[in-house]
C-alpha cells in the first residue's frame, strides 16, 4: 500500500468500515456529529493534562536520579564534604524523591516560600523553583526568555509552512517537468543539511562575506517591529529551510497520491480543469497530513531552535537551557524542559483539533 | 499527547518518508532478488550506496588511514599554529602539506584529516548503534501493544505517546549534562538517542502488526492449529521486515544529525574524541583563516546525511515501488501515467 | 445521427491490447449494456468514450464519436465540454468517487458551474434540485453532508445526481451497482430506469452481471478479451444466445429461482476447472471448463427456467415435479448427526455508547453432509457469525458446541475458506507450504509423506503437483481459492465454513469453485456452512438456508421452502430485488417493486 493510502487506508479501515455500520444501523444526524466533536475536544483536553503530568514525572525522576552528585556539582569541584552536605541540605536533596516531587507540584499549583539564608522569598503560583546558581526564580527567568523563543519558532513555522507547502504544490503541479526535478533535488539537499550547518553558512555568507545584514541582535517586537523582523530573518531561514524541505516532500507526495485517487477521476470525467483539480481537490487532500507532520516536527523544530539561538546568540530559552545544562542548574533545566514540553504537547493538541476539523472522519473513528 | 494526532503524525511521518507496505502485496522469497533488482534500477540510490559503503570503509579503516598519513587525531602540534595571531595554523591552506594532508586544527594544531576520519567513526558508529536500540525497543513495544490484551495496548500506547511528545534534542541535551564526564561519551550519546526516540517506530510497528493480524492468512494459520509463537514468527514478522527496514534506513541520517547537533552544543561527544558536530562549534571564528576547518566537517555531514537519505529512499522504493515512486527524483507525469496504465492493465487482466 | 458511434476501437496499454477492434452504435435515448467478465475491456471502452485515456500513455485507435464530438480529435476544451456536459459518467465505488472533504451539494455545484455560467448560489440550488430528483429526502439539508455521512445507496444516488446536473444526452454507468447490496441495487436500477423515461437520455451500462443488464437495457453487447462476442436485443441474446461463449456465461450464472440439482453440480466436475495455466503471463483469464457439457446439462432448464422466473410460478412447477424428492432429502438431513451447534450467539463490538451487536442471538445447527447457507446483506453480521463458528472470534454471549461438546478457541477439524484470495495466503510462503501447515501442526514430521499428501490435495482440487513450490502471486483468483480449499482439507475437517468464497471471482470461475465444494462435500461427508451475499449462489449450494438481517436470523428452513415461499417480508424483499435474466420478467417485477415502494418508502 502506498504511503498515503496506507495513511488513509488506516483511517478508512478503522474509521470508515465501522462508520458504514454505524451509518447503516443508526443514521447520522448533524447533531450527532456536533456533540461528537464536543466530546472529542473534552477527551483531547484531558489527554493533554495527563500527558503533561506523565512528562513532568519522567523529567523529574530522570533528572534527579541520574548518576552524579548534584550537590557536589552545584557546589563546585573544590567544595569540602561538609560544604557539599550543607548544599544538599539546603537543596532538600536528602528528602525522598516523591516528597520532593510533591513539593515541586505544590509550588507549581500554589506557590512556595524559599528561605535564602537571610530573607524569605515568595515564589508565586506557577513556581518552578529557584535557580541553584543565581537564586533567581525559574518562572521569571523563563518569562523573560520566552518572547525571543516564541518569535523564533512561530516566525519560522509560518515560513516553513509557506515555503514547504508552496514548493510542494509547485512540484506536484509541474510534475514531470524540469521545474519539478530541480525542486526535488533542492528539497532533498535541504533535508540533508543540519540546522546548524545551514545557519553557519548563512551567517558567514550573508553577514560575514556579503555583509547584507548585520549579525543578528535580538530586538523586541514591541520596540521596533521592523528591526525585529530583519534581525530574525536569518535565524528564521536557518530553522525553516530544513523543515520546509520535508513539508515540500510531504505536500507533493500527498497531492500526487490524491491525484491518483478515484474522486479526482470523477472530476476529470466531468470536465473540471486540471488547475481547479490541483487547487481544490489535490491540495485539500494534503491538509490533514501537513497538519499531522507539523505536530510531529514541532518537537524537533524546538530542538532546532536551541541550536539556532546558540548559533546566533539570541537570548532565548534554548540558549539559557544550554547554559543551565553546562552549569548543572537542575531547577532551571527541569523548568525549561517542562515548559518546552508544555508547548510541544499543546502544539500537538492544537494540531489534533485542526486535524479533526480538516478530516471530520477522525472524530468518529 | 492525544492519540489521534500522534497516530496521524506517525502516519504522516510514514507518509512523508517511510512506507507502510501493503503486507499482502510483497511477494517475498523472490523478494530478496526483486529487491536487489529494483535497487539497481535507481541510479541515485546506487551512487548513494557506494558513498555510504565508502564512508563505512573509511570509518573502519581510520587507524590504517591515519597511520598511512603518519598522524593521529589527538596529538597537539603547537609548532604548527601561530599563537601570536590567536592560534591560526601556520602556512598557506590552513597548514595543509605532505605531513598534514588537510591541514591542522586552529589553536591546537591537531591533524584535521585524522580528526575527520575518526569523526566518521563516531558519527556512523553512534548513529547505527542508536538505530539498533530504537528499532529493538520500538519493534518490541509495537508488537507487544498490537498483540497484547486491551489494557497492555492502552498502557504501552500511552507510554509511547509520552515518548513521542518528549522533545528529543531538549531531553538529550539536559540528560547529557548530568551524567558524570567519566562515562564514555559516545556510548552515552548512543544510549540517550536510542532510549528516547523510539516512539514513532513503535507506532508504525503497532499499526502494521494490527493490519497484518487481521489478514486471512494469519487466521488460516490459527485454524491450522499453530500456537501464537509460530504464527508470530512465520506470519507476522516477515511482514514487518519491510516497514521496519525502511524506517530504520530513515533513522540513521536523523541520528547522525542529532549526534552532530549535540556535539555542536558541547554536550555530546567531547574532546579529545573527535566528532564532526563538535569540530563545527568553533568553526565560524576561523572560517577566514582556515576555511577547511568549517567546510570539511560541514561537507562530510552533508554528504553523509544526503547519501543515507537517498539510500533510504532507494530502500523504500525497492521494498514498495508503488508508494515511493512519488518521492523519487524525476518522478512525474510520465511515470504516473505508466503506473495508471499498469493499474488499468491490472484491472483488465 | 447516433449518440455514440464507435468504429474499430482499439486501446493498448503497452503490449496489452485491452480493446481490440470494437464497433458499435447507440441511438439517441437508447440503452446498451457492455457485458463481460474481468479483463474483457468493457470499462476501458467506457473511459475511451470520454477520452479519459488521453495523456495516460494508452494508445487509442479507431474512431469514437460521442454526441457529435470526435473524441480522439477534440481539443482539450471540446473534451471538457463533452465530459459531464453531453455525456456524464457514474462510477462503480460511490464512496471513493466523491471527494471526502467537500459537501456533496458543493461537489455537484462545482461540476455544474464548469458547464453553465451561473452564480455559485444558482449552482447550489441546482444541486439541491437534482438531489431531490434522485430521491434524497430532505435534499437541502443533506446536500451539506459529506460523502462519508451518506449510506452506500445514497452516495450512488448523489453521483447520479451529479451526472444529471448538466442534463447530459448520454449517461455512462460503469458497474454502478457492483458495490451495493441487492435491495439497494434494485432501487438504483429502478432510479436509472425512471430517469431515462423522464429525460430521454441514452444509457451505456457497463456490467459483469447479466441480470443487471437484463433489468436495465434494450440491447446487450457481450465482450471477451477486448473483442465483441455477440450483440443484439437483450431478450434475444439472453434467451437464445448465438455464440458459445455467451451460452457458457449464461450457463454459469446461478439462478435464484431454480432448484439445486445434484447432477448438475456433479457434471461440472472440478478436474475440468481452471486450466488457466500458470505463467500464462499478463492475461491470466479463467477459462471455462468443458463448455459443451455444461451447456448440455443446462439446456433443459434454459427456457423453462427463464419462464418460471416468478417465484410463485416456479414454486408451482417445482412442487408438482419434485415433491417426493424434497421430502426424501429433508428426511435424510434431519437424521444425520449434528456436528456444529450454535446457541444464542451474540457478539458485540466497540465499547460504551458506541457498542453494537454485530450478531445478536443466533442459534443454528449444522449436520453431517449438509450445507447450511447463510445469506444476508452487508452489515447483517454473517461474517462475524462465520468467524465465531470456527472459533476465530469468541462470542460475547452464547456458545458453539462442536460434536456435542462446548468448544473454546479453534479446532483444526473446523476449517474456513476465506473470501479474499489475495490476503488468505501468505505471500512469502509457497502454496505447498501453506497447505502443509495443518499437517505439520498436527506433528507430522515425515517430509516425503507431507509432500505426498499435499500433492494429493492439490490434484484433488484441480491443481497440479508442480504447483507445490509456486507462490500465491503466480496464481489466478480461482486457483488461489482452490489452494485455500486444499489447505482446509489438509486438516481432515468435519466442518468447513466458507466465508463468501466466490464473491471475488468471475461468474464462470465461481461456478467451478462451487461445483468443487459440492463434490468434496459429498465425497467426504463434510458439513458446509456457506456464507454469502449472493442469493442465487447460496441457493445453488445449500440444503438449508438462514437469512440474516442486522445480526439476527429472520428466517431459516430448507432452501427450496425459503426461496419458494418466504415467510419473512425481508426475505421476500431480497428475493424480489434479485435481477431476473429475462427482460420481460424484469419489467413485470419492476412494476411490482414500484407499487410496493409507494406503500413503503425506499430503504436506502
Closest-approach residue (CA) in chain B for A258: B326
Cβ of B334: how many Cβ atoms within 10 Å?
Answer: 12
Mean pLDDT over all residues of chain C?
A: 83
Can you tell me whether residue B303 is helix, strand or coil? helix
In DSSP terms, B88 is beta-bridged to B82
Cβ neighbours of residue B214 closer than 8 Å, sequence gap 6 or more: none
**Residue B239's pLDDT band (cuts 50, 70, 90):** confident
- Domain ranges for chain A, please list them: 1-65, 70-123, 138-364
Per residue in C210-233, pLDDT tens? 889 988 888 999 999 989 999 999
pLDDT above 50: residue B335: no
**Residue C125 exposure: Cα atoms within 13 Å on the Cβ side:** 5
Return the exposure string of B192-208: e unless at least 16 CB atoms fall within 10 Å of the residue's CB, then b. Answer: bbbbbbbbbbbbbbbbb
Q: Say whether domain C327-565 belongs to CATH 3.40.50.300.
A: yes
Q: How confident is the model at residue C64 (pLDDT cuts 50, 70, 90)?
A: very high
Q: What phi and psi values does residue C339 have, to the nearest 5 degrees?
A: -95, -40
Q: What percent of chain A has pLDDT over 90?
A: 7
Give the count of domains, chain B: 1
Of A321-330, B325-334, C211-220, C454-463, the least confident: B325-334
Predicted confidence band at C544 (pLDDT cuts at 50, 70, 90)? Answer: very high
Specify whether the CB–CB gap between A304 and A236 falls below 8 A. no
Which residues in chain C touch residue A30, judged by CB atoms under 8 angstroms apart? 141, 144-145
Q: Is the pLDDT confidence value at A115 over 80? A: no
pLDDT, position B252: 92
Instruction: Give the pLDDT confidence score for residue B66 in this predicted structure.
Output: 81
Q: Which cell numbers hold the place of A149?
A: 523563543
- What would the DSSP string read from start to end of B182-233? TS-HHHHHHHHHHHHS-HHHHHHHHHHHHHHHTSHHHHHHHHHT--HHHHII
Please report the beta strands in A239-338, taking only residues with DSSP state E, as ranges in sequence order: none
B vs C, Cβ pairs < 8 A, gives 121
pLDDT confidence bin for C328, thresholds 50/70/90: very low
Q: What is the pLDDT of residue C499?
A: 92
| b/e sequence A142-158, b meaning 16+ C-beta within 10 Å | beebebbbebbbebbbe
* Contact criterion met (CB below 8 Å) for C582 and C235: yes
pLDDT at C554 over 80: yes
Contacts with C410 from chain B: Cβ below 8 Å: 222-223, 225
CA closest to C381 among chain A residues: A21
* Chain-chain contact of C99 with A18 (C-beta, under 8 angstroms): no
State yes or no: pLDDT of B3 exceeds 60.
no
On the question of pLDDT at B7 being above 50, the answer is no
- B108: domain CATH number? 1.10.3720.10
What is the least distance, in Å, from the CA of A6 to any CA of chain C?
Answer: 15
8 A C-beta contact, residue B331 and residue A185: no
Whether C427 and B25 lie within 8 Å, measured CB to CB: yes
Closest CA to C460 of C268, C269, C264, C271: C271
Query: Residue C286 — pLDDT band, cuts 50, 70, 90?
Result: very low
User: What's the pLDDT at C371?
Assistant: 92
Which pLDDT score is estimated for B164? 80
Say yes or no to pLDDT of A3 above 60. Answer: no
**What percent of chain C has a predicted confidence (pLDDT) above 70?**
86
pLDDT of res. C342: 92
Using one digit for the tens of pLDDT, what is the confidence trace for B82-101? Answer: 777 776 777 766 666 767 77
Note the pLDDT of residue B13: 47
Q: What is the pLDDT of residues B190-204, one digit of tens each?
A: 998 998 889 889 988
List pLDDT tens digits, range A256-291: 888 888 889 899 999 898 888 988 899 888 888 888
Mean pLDDT of A334-355: 84
Q: Do A23 and C162 touch (CB under 8 A)?
A: no
Instruction: Read off the pLDDT of residues C66-82 as tens digits, 9 standing for 90 and up.
Output: 988 898 888 988 998 89
**What's the pLDDT score for residue A6?**
36
Residues of A in contact with B288 (CB under 8 A): 208
Query: Residue B282 — pLDDT band, cuts 50, 70, 90?
Result: confident
* pLDDT at residue C302 in the model: 36
Residue B220 in contact with partner chain A when CB distance is under 8 A: no
Q: Is the pLDDT of residue C148 over 90?
A: no
Q: How would residue B36 be classed by pLDDT, with cut points 50, 70 and 90?
A: low
Rounded to 5°, the CA angle C8-C14-C17 comes to 35
**Range from A314-328, B264-278, C184-198, C265-279 carrying the lowest mean pLDDT:** C265-279
CB-CB under 8 Å, A271 with C81: yes
Give the per-residue pLDDT at A117: 60
Task: Note the pLDDT of residue B34.
Answer: 64
**Residue C443 with chain B: CB contacts under 8 Å:** none
Segment B283-302 shows an average pLDDT of: 81
At C33, give phi and psi (nearest 5°).
Answer: -110, 135
The residue of A138, A188, A292 whose CB has the most chain B CBs within 10 angstroms, and thus the best one to mutate to test that interface, is: A292
pLDDT at B68 over 60: yes
CB contact (8 A) between residue A200 and residue B294? yes
Residue C94 grid cell: 460511490
- The mean pLDDT value for A26-46 works out to 59
3-state helix, strand, coil in chain A (%, to 5): 75, 5, 20
Q: Residue range C115-121: average pLDDT? A: 91
pLDDT tens readout for residues C469-491:
888 888 888 899 999 999 999 99
**According to the model, what pLDDT value does residue B325 have?**
41
> Are C471 and C282 in contact, with CB atoms under 8 Å apart?
no
pLDDT digits (tens, 9 = 90+) for B134-177: 999 999 999 999 888 888 988 898 888 888 877 888 888 877 77
Chain A neighbors of B25, CB-CB under 8 A: 1
Higher per-residue confidence, A31 vs A346 = A346
Rank A70-79, A346-355, C341-350 by mean pLDDT and report only the highest: C341-350
What pLDDT does residue C334 have?
61
Q: What is the greatest pairwise CA distance in chain B?
A: 82
User: CA angle, B152 as apex, B249 and B131 as ends, to 5°?
Assistant: 15
Do C412 and B25 lie within an 8 Å CB cutoff? no
Who among C390, C420, C471 is closest to B27 (CB)? Answer: C471
pLDDT averaged over every residue in chain B: 76
Taking residues B237-264, report their average pLDDT.
88
Chain B positions in Cβ-Cβ contact with residue C430 (cut-off 8 Å) = 29
Give how far A101 is from chain C: nearest CA, Å: 36
Mean pLDDT, residues C150-173: 91
φ, ψ dihedrals at B198, nearest 5°: -115, 5
Per-residue model confidence (pLDDT) at position A74: 66
Residue A211 CA to residue B29 CA, distance in Å, equals: 60
Q: Where are the beta strands (DSSP E) in C14-119?
A: 16-26, 31-35, 59-66, 69-70, 87-90
C297: CB partners within 8 A, 6+ apart: C263, C264, C267, C268
Report yes or no: C525 and C557 within 8 Å, Cβ to Cβ.
no
C241 against C280, higher pLDDT:
C241
Q: What percent of chain B has a predicted confidence (pLDDT) above 90?
A: 17
Res. A14: pLDDT tops 50: no
The answer on pLDDT for C194 being more than 70 is yes
Taking 60 as the threshold, does the pLDDT of residue B79 lie above it? yes
In terms of Cα–Cα distance, which of A93, A117, A198, A102 is closest to A156? A198
Written in H, E and C, the secondary structure of C444-497 is: CCCHHHHHHHHHHHHHHCCCCHHHHHCCHHHCCHHHHHHHHHHHHHHCCCCEEE
Q: What is the 3-state secondary structure (H, E, C) of B73-133?
A: CCCCCHHHEEHHHCCEECCHHHHCCCCCCCCECCCCCCEHHHHHHHHHHHHHHHHHHHHHH
Nearest one of C13, C2, C89 to C53, comparing CA atoms: C13
* Contact check, Cβ <8 Å, A203/B333: no
Percent over 90 (pLDDT), chain C: 38
**pLDDT score, position C599:** 54
* CA of C92 vs chain A CAs: smallest distance (Å): 10
Q: What is the CA radius of gyration of chain A?
A: 25
Which range in A148-152, B236-240, C403-407 is most confidently predicted, on average pLDDT? A148-152
- Residue B127: which pLDDT band, with cuts at 50, 70 and 90? very high
Contact A263 C350 (CB under 8 A): no
Question: Can you give the three-state secondary structure of C261-272, one letter per residue?
Answer: CHHHHHHCCHHH
Is A204 close to B323, i.e. CB distance below 8 A? no
Cβ–Cβ gap A20/C80 under 8 Å:
no
- For A250, the closest of B12, B302, B324 (CB atoms) is B12
Q: Check pLDDT > 50 for residue B342.
A: no
A20 near C CB under 8 A? yes
Residue A225 has which C-alpha cell?
517591529
In this prediction, residue C449 has a pLDDT band, given cuts at 50, 70 and 90, of very high
The lowest-confidence range among A301-310, B25-34, C179-188 is: B25-34
Domains of chain C by residue range? 93-167, 327-565
Q: Give residue C151's pLDDT.
A: 86
* pLDDT confidence bin for C261, thresholds 50/70/90: low
Query: What domain range is B299 assigned to?
Result: 2-10+41-320
Per-residue DSSP letter, C179? T
Overall average pLDDT of the A309-315 stretch: 88
**What is the dihedral sign for C-alpha C140, C142, C147, C153?**
negative
CB neighbours (10 Å) of residue C579?
23
Comparing CA positions, the residue from A291, A350, A299, A304 lying closest to residue B166 is A299
**CA distances for C396 relative to B151, B222, C358, C360, C546, angstroms:** 18, 20, 10, 10, 21
Q: What is the pLDDT of residue B190?
A: 93
C-alpha distance from C88 to closest chain A C-alpha (Å) = 7
Higher pLDDT, B127 or C584: B127
Q: Closest to A296 (Cβ–Cβ): which among B13, B322, B327?
A: B13
What average pLDDT does chain A have?
77
Contact between C362 and C412 (Cβ < 8 Å): no
Q: Do C114 and A269 touch (CB under 8 A)?
A: no
Give B-chain residues touching C418 at CB under 8 angstroms.
216, 219-220
Q: Which CATH fold would you assign to the domain A138-364? A: MetI-like fold (1.10.3720)
Residue B247 lies in a domain: yes
What local confidence, expressed as pLDDT, does residue C384 receive?
Answer: 92
**The pTM is what?**
0.78
Alpha-carbon span B220 to A124, nearest angstrom: 64
A62 interface with C at CB cutoff 8 Å: no
Where is average pLDDT lowest: A98-102, A308-312, C109-113?
A98-102
Whether the per-residue pLDDT at B5 is higher than 70: the answer is: no
pLDDT band at C320 (very low <50, low <70, confident <90, very high): very low
What's the confidence (pLDDT) of residue C31? Answer: 92
Residue B85: inside a domain = yes
List, in order, residues 6 or more apart from B41 with CB less than 8 Å away: none
On the question of pLDDT at C269 being above 70, the answer is no
Residues paired with C552 in a beta bridge? C549
User: What pLDDT score does A229 carry?
Assistant: 83
Q: Does the beta-carbon distance from B223 to C283 stay under 8 Å? A: no
Say whether residue A268 is in contact with chain C using an 8 A CB cutoff. Answer: yes
Amino acid at each position: 500500500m502506498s504511503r498515503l493510502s496506507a495513511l488513509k487506508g488506516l483511517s478508512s479501515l478503522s474509521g470508515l468500515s465501522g462508520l458504514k455500520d454505524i451509518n447503516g444501523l443508526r443514521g447520522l444526524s448533524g447533531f450527532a456529529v456536533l456533540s461528537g466533536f464536543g466530546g472529542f475536544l473534552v477527551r483531547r483536553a484531558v489527554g493533554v493534562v495527563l500527558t503533561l503530568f506523565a512528562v513532568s514525572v519522567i523529567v523529574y525522576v530522570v533528572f534527579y536520579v541520574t548518576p552524579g552528585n548534584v550537590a557536589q556539582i552545584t557546589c563546585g569541584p573544590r567544595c569540602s564534604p561538609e560544604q557539599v552536605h550543607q548544599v544538599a541540605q539546603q537543596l532538600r536533596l536528602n528528602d525522598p524523591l516523591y516528597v520532593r516531587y510533591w513539593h515541586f507540584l505544590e509550588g507549581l499549583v500554589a506557590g512556595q516560600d524559599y528561605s535564602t539564608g537571610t530573607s524569605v522569598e515568595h515564589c508565586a503560583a506557577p513556581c518552578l523553583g529557584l535557580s541553584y546558581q543565581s537564586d533567581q526564580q525559574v518562572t521569571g527567568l523563563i518569562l523573560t526568555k520566552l518572547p525571543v523563543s516564541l518569535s523564533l519558532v512561530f516566525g519560522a513555522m509560518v515560513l516553513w509552512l509557506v515555503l514547504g507547502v508552496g514548493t510542494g504544490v509547485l512540484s506536484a503541479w509541474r510534475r514531470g517537468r524540469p521545474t519539478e526535478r530541480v525542486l526535488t533535488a533542492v528539497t532533498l539537499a535541504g533535508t540533508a543539511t543540519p540546522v546548524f550547518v545551514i545557519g553557519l553558512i548563512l551567517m558567514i555568507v550573508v553577514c560575514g562575506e556579503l555583509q547584507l545584514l548585520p549579525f543578528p541582535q535580538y530586538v523586541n517586537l514591541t520596540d521596533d517591529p521592523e528591526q525585529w523582523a530583519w534581525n530574525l530573518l536569518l535565524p528564521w531561514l536557518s530553522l525553516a529551510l530544513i523543515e520546509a524541505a520535508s513539508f515540500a516532500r510531504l505536500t507533493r507526495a500527498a497531492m500526487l497520491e490524491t491525484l491518483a485517487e478515484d474522486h479526482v477521476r470523477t472530476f476529470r470525467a466531468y470536465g473540471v480543469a486540471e488547475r481547479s483539480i490541483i487547487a481544490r481537490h489535490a491540495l485539500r487532500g494534503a491538509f490533514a497530513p501537513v497538519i499531522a507532520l507539523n505536530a510531529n516536527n514541532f518537537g524537533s523544530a524546538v530542538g532546532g531552535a536551541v541550536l539556532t539561538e546558540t548559533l546566533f546568540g539570541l537570548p532565548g530559552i534554548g540558549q539559557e537551557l544550554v547554559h543551565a545544562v553546562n552549569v548543572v542548574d537542575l531547577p532551571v533545566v527541569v523548568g525549561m524542559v517542562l515548559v518546552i514540553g508544555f508547548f510541544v504537547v499543546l502544539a500537538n493538541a492544537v494540531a489534533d483539533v485542526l486535524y479533526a476539523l480538516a478530516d471530520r472522519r477522525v472524530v468518529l473513528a | 499527547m492525544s492519540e489521534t494526532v500522534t497516530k496521524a503524525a506517525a502516519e504522516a511521518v510514514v507518509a512523508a518518508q517511510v512506507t507502510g507496505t501493503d503486507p499482502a502485496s510483497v511477494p517475498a522469497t523472490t523478494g530478496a532478488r526483486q529487491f536487489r533488482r529494483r535497487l539497481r534500477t535507481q541510479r541515485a540510490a546506487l551512487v548513494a550506496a557506494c558513498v555510504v559503503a565508502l564512508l563505512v570503509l573509511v570509518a573502519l579503516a581510520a587507524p590504517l588511514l591515519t597511520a598511512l598519513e603518519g598522524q593521529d587525531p589527538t596529538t597537539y602540534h603547537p609548532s604548527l599554529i601561530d599563537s601570536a595571531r590567536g592560534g591560526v595554523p601556520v602556512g598557506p591552506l590552513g597548514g595543509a602539506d605532505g605531513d598534514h594532508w588537510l591541514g591542522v586544527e586552529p589553536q591546537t594544531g591537531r591533524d584535521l584529516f585524522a580528526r575527520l576520519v575518526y569523526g566518521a567513526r563516531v558519527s556512523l558508529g553512534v548513529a547505527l548503534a542508536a538505530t539498533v536500540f530504537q528499532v529493538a525497543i520500538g519493534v518490541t513495544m509495537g508488537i507487544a501493544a498490537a498483540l497484547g490484551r486491551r489494557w497492555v495496548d492502552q498502557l504501552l500506547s500511552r507510554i509511547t505517546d509520552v515518548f513521542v511528545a518528549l522533545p528529543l534534542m531538549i531531553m538529550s541535551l539536559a540528560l547529557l549534562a548530568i551524567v558524570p564526564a567519566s562515562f564514555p561519551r559516545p556510548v552515552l550519546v548512543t544510549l540517550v538517542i536510542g532510549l528516547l526516540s523510539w516512539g514513532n517506530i513503535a507506532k508504525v510497528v503497532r499499526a502494521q502488526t494490527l493490519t497484518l493480524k487481521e489478514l486471512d492468512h494469519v487466521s488460516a494459520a490459527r485454524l491450522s492449529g499453530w500456537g501464537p509463537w509460530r504464527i508470530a514468527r512465520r506470519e507476522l514478522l516477515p511482514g514487518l521486515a519491510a516497514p521496519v527496514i525502511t524506517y530504520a534506513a530513515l533513522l540513521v541520517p536523523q541520528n547522525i544529525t542529532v549526534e552532530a547537533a549535540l556535539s555542536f552544543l558541547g554536550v555530546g561527544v567531547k574532546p579529545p574524541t573527535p566528532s564532526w558536530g563538535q569540530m563545527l562549534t568553533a568553526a565560524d571564528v576561523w572560517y577566514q583563516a582556515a576555511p577547511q576547518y568549517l567546510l570539511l566537517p560541514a561537507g562530510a555531514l552533508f554528504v553523509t546525511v544526503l547519501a543515507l537519505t537517498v539510500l533510504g529512499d532507494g530502500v523504500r522504493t525497492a521494498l514498495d515501488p508503488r508508494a515511493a515512486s512519488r518521492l523519487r527524483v524525476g518522478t512525474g507525469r510520465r511515470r504516473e501515467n505508466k503506473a495508471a496504465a499498469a493499474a488499468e492493465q491490472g484491472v483488465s487482466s | 445521427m447516433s449518440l455514440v458511434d464507435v468504429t474499430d476501437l482499439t486501446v493498448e496499454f503497452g503490449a496489452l491490447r485491452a480493446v481490440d477492434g470494437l464497433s458499435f452504435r447507440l441511438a439517441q435515448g437508447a440503452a446498451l449494456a457492455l457485458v463481460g467478465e474481468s479483463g474483457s475491456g468493457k470499462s476501458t471502452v467506457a473511459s475511451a468514450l470520454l477520452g479519459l485515456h488521453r495523456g495516460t500513455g494508452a494508445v487509442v485507435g479507431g474512431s469514437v464519436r460521442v454526441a457529435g464530438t470526435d473524441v480522439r480529435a477534440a481539443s482539450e476544451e471540446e473534451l471538457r465540454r463533452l465530459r459531464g456536459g453531453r455525456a456524464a459518467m457514474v462510477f462503480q465505488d460511490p464512496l471513493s468517487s466523491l471527494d471526502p472533504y467537500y459537501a456533496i451539494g458543493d461537489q455537484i455545484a462545482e461540476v455544474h458551474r464548469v458547464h453553465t455560467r451561473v452564480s455559485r448560489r444558482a449552482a447550489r440550488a441546482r444541486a439541491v434540485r437534482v438531489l431531490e430528483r434522485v430521491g434524497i429526502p430532505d435534499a437541502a439539508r443533506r446536500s451539506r453532508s459529506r460523502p462519508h455521512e451518506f449510506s452506500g445507496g445514497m452516495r450512488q444516488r448523489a453521483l447520479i445526481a451529479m451526472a444529471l446536473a448538466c442534463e447530459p444526452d448520454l449517461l455512462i454507468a460503469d458497474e454502478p451497482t457492483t458495490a451495493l447490496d441487492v435491495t439497494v441495487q434494485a432501487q438504483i436500477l429502478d432510479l436509472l430506469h425512471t430517469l431515462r423515461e423522464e429525460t430521454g437520455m441514452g444509457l451505456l451500462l457497463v456490467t459483469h452481471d447479466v441480470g443487471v443488464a437484463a433489468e436495465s437495457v434494450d440491447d446487450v453487447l457481450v465482450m471477451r478479451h477486448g473483442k465483441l462476442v455477440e450483440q443484439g436485443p437483450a431478450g434475444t441474446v439472453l434467451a437464445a444466445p448465438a455464440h458459445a461463449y455467451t451460452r457458457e456465461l449464461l450457463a454459469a450464472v446461478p439462478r435464484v429461482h431454480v432448484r439445486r440439482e445434484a447432477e448438475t453440480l456433479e457434471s461440472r466436475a472440478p478436474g475440468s476447472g481452471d486450466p488457466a495455466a500458470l505463467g500464462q503471463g499478463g492475461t491470466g483469464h479463467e477459462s471455462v471448463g468443458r463448455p459443451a457439457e455444461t451447456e448440455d446439462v443446462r439446456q433443459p432448464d434454459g427456457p423453462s427456467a427463464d419462464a418460471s422466473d416468478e417465484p410463485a410460478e416456479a414454486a408451482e412447477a417445482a412442487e408438482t415435479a419434485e415433491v417426493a424428492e424434497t421430502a426424501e432429502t429433508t428426511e435424510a438431513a434431519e437424521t444425520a448427526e449434528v456436528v456444529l451447534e450454535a446457541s444464542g450467539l451474540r457478539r458485540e463490538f466497540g465499547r460504551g455508547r458506541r457498542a453494537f451487536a454485530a450478531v445478536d442471538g443466533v442459534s443454528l445447527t449444522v449436520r453431517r453432509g449438509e450445507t447450511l447457507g447463510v445469506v444476508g446483506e452487508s452489515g447483517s453480521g454473517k461474517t462475524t457469525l462465520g468467524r465465531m463458528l470456527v472459533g476465530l472470534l469468541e462470542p460475547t454471549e452464547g456458545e458453539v458446541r462442536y460434536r456435542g461438546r462446548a468448544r473454546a478457541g479453534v479446532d483444526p477439524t473446523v476449517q474456513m475458506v476465506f473470501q479474499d484470495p489475495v490476503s488468505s495466503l501468505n505471500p512469502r510462503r509457497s502454496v505447498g507450504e501453506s497447505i502443509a501447515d495443518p499437517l505439520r501442526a498436527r506433528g507430522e514430521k515425515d517430509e516425503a509423506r507431507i509432500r505426498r499428501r499435499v500433492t494429493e490435495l492439490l490434484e484433488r482440487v484441480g491443481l497440479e503437483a508442480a504447483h507445490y513450490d509456486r507462490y500465491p502471486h503466480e496464481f489466478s483468483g480461482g486457483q488461489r481459492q482452490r489452494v485455500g480449499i486444499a489447505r482446509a482439507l489438509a486438516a481432515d475437517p468435519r466442518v468447513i465454513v466458507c466465508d463468501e468464497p466466490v464473491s471475488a471471482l468471475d461468474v464462470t470461475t465461481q461456478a467451478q469453485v462451487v461445483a468443487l465444494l459440492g463434490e468434496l462435500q459429498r465425497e467426504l461427508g463434510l458439513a458446509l456452512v456457506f456464507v454469502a451475499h449472493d442469493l442465487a449462489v447460496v441457493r445453488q449450494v445449500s440444503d438449508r438456508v438462514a437469512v440474516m438481517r442486522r445480526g439476527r436470523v429472520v428466517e431459516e428452513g430448507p432452501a427450496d421452502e425459503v426461496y419458494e415461499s418466504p415467510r419473512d417480508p425481508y426475505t421476500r424483499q431480497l428475493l424480489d430485488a434479485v435481477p431476473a435474466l429475462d427482460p420481460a420478467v424484469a419489467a413485470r417485477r419492476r412494476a411490482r417493486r414500484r407499487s410496493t415502494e409507494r406503500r413503503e418508502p425506499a430503504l436506502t
